[in-house]
Amino acid sequence: AQSVTQPDIHITVSEGASLELRCNYSYGATPYLFWYVQSPGQGLQLLLKYFSGDTLVQGIKGFEAEFKRSQSSFNLRKPSVHWSDAAEYFCAVGNFGNEKLTFGTGTRLTIIP
């Protein structure tokens, strides 16, 4: 069965600093990987996704993620965070032929001035 681990429950970063949110997955074949963001009181919005090809994926809002098969990881990065990036971030894994996404428990990001 597929699973996702986000080891950091809460991260605090200064505005303008770089960010990396960790995501590790468990799945036997090549997974489809996603990062979603949830602002308070809102639904989830897709930031980026990886299916195949280039392992460095660019997303919206200046985010990127890198798929590393050897480490079973799909970490999310941003070189310089903005106060508006404060939100909850979810990593998710899916697979071909099955529309079910398995979500991680999320990482809450706090931005300090």
Partner 1 sequence: DAGVIQSPRHEVTEMGQEVTLRCKPISGHDYLFWYRQTMMRGLELLIYFNNNVPIDDSGMPEDRFSAKMPNASFSTLKIQPSEPRDSAVYFCASSPGTGGYTEAFFGQGTRLTVV
Piece of 10-18, 43-51, 53-61, 74-82 that binds partner 1 (CB under 8 A)? 43-51
Q: Does position 58 bind partner 1 by CB under 8 A? A: no
Per CB under 8 A, contacts with partner 1 among 2-41 are 32, 34, 36, 41
What HEC string does 25-53 produce?
EECCCCCEEEEEEECCCCCEEEEEEECCC
Q: Does position 49 bind partner 1 by CB under 8 A? A: yes
Instruction: Quote the CA–CA distance of 86 and 97 in Å, as a whole number.
Output: 34
Both tokens of 48, joined, read 């980026």
Applying CB under 8 A, the residues found at the interface with partner 1 are 32, 34, 36, 41-46, 49, 51, 90, 94-106
